[in-house]
Structure 1
Amino acid sequence: MSADKEFDAITDEVPYLEIYRLRGLQARAKLMLDRRSESEIRVASSTIEWLVNEYFYTQQEAWIRRQIENGGAVLRHLRSEDRTEHGLRELVEERRSGIDPDELDFPSEENTEPLEALEDALKEFDLDDQDFPDAKFYEYVAVLALTLITRAVQTYQGEDWPTVLWVGQPMSRMTVLGNEAVDIMEIVCRAEQLQDSLEVRKRIKFFLLDNEKGIPERIEELAKQKVSLAASLAASARHKETSQSKFKALLCWRSTGSNFSSRAAFARNKHKDYGVTERTLYGWVADHERRKV
């Protein structure tokens, strides 16, 4: 960066300053914007300036309307004929010395931190800007950090300090820079928090979608297992029933078999009593007789 060029945190590296962490904060903010071009970052910076100014204006106008509608105490500073929105607006803009700043209880540049103003302003803003496509909340916050770094360094390096501060200028500059560095650190941390939250939501969404894709296969697998289990249970039940039938059939054969001319005759006459075919009943009897030998 040349000596006659004003510092710009978007393109220039923070020079060596007593608050050395400022350079690290700049690097962290830029890392969150690594997919963005210089022109896109400048568009976002301009958008932030417009958004915050518009936010303060709309908040002031809403407050003025409420005071007029509700007869707010601040109207005592105006003559009766001036107690209109226009009259109160002039009073607010003039900030007359007789007014306690606490009476002007609406967000303004004087009482609202840039991060708070930006976050509130972005709630009503469509992030999908044509010149800053697929924008993320954290990116705007990171751009705000770069904007404030630019302002802090330019103020520190500037020559237009009030005459009353010239004697203690180095300490005054350090105090201002230190305070702004604290604000910038808060903004960078907030941007990183928003980025991390977005990544977590993406991972959860991916996990749910991945699981959702596997649900049909899992259902089919469970259905097959259910069918297999049902078949196994049915087979077991049939086997148990068959064993009981076989036991009863052989008991009948031992007690009444002599009444039949042959095993085949017994099977032909009795197979229905045990729910089996003639061939099955004949086989049971034949096997039983072989085992006796």
Structure 2
Amino acid sequence: MICIIHLQIPTADGVAPMSKMTKLQQRYFKTAKYRADSEAEAILLTEIFRAQGKEVMPRDTYELQNPVVKMPGTEFMEKISAALEYFIHERLNTDPEWKDIKVILSDANVPGEGEHKIMSFIRAQRSMENYDPNTRHCLHGHDADLIMLALASHEVHISILREFDNPNGRIPARFYQFVDIWVLREYLELEMKTPGCKQDTERLIDDFIFICFLTGNDFIPRIPSLEINEFAVDLLIEVYKTTFNKMGGYMVNTDKIKDKYGVYLEVTRLEKFFHELSLCEEKILLKRYELQEVCYHPCQ
């Protein structure tokens, strides 16, 4: 199959919503404290090694070690925008393979995170009368929220191109993989469905996205007992399946919302879900305590 790319949307993060900025501020404070502690420790070790007559190599410093440099409104991001504009202009005028490509640049001067701006563009395209439902989209990025945003769009033909380093082998190499959203949708349909119930796949996906919020993201904190590396998503799906009949249906509802992309929550159903989930919390915390005891006292 030959895929002709007819549109590119290079994006850079603009000013994020207030909730994201708050979490970033907390993260930067923690990073700054860690950096200050590490710097003090490094200075102390350097003095000790030099007193012992050992040679200490000077440490390299890089401009991008400070994450604030890459925030919207900084001189660095202005340079990035100018470089992108030059690159796009140069390619459109000199590269014959770019002659049929339409490029839309959304730099740091446009508010919103890059992936959210792209998804807004896709939703805007879908609302047009002449939109082809078989249009295929390919997004490139590492963030896991790209997967959630693609699912939330309910657009079937989306692929996410992810780049990763070769974990094996002595020669550094980069590989690419596709995450095909239509395949993920099929797996979610199989995983989320409650036996004996006739369920709507689109609404199951909406509920899946919502319950995954409980593990936290860039905008909201997570529930302390839920850690993704402790298979929290598997637990949430299992609790959802066993609780679906007790809840009486889906938690996320779009029926009474005039806004096409707006939703509201069925609070009584959410309460039942939280109750069932809370029954697992004590076991999770006790298991963590036992693992910590084993780590602290490995010989016992």
TM-score band w.r.t. shorter chain: under 0.3
- Which of the two has greater helix per residue? 1
- TM-score when normalising by structure 1: 0.22
- Which of the two has greater strand per residue? 2
Relative contact order, higher structure (CA 8 A, sep 6+): 1
Structure label with greater radius of gyration: 1
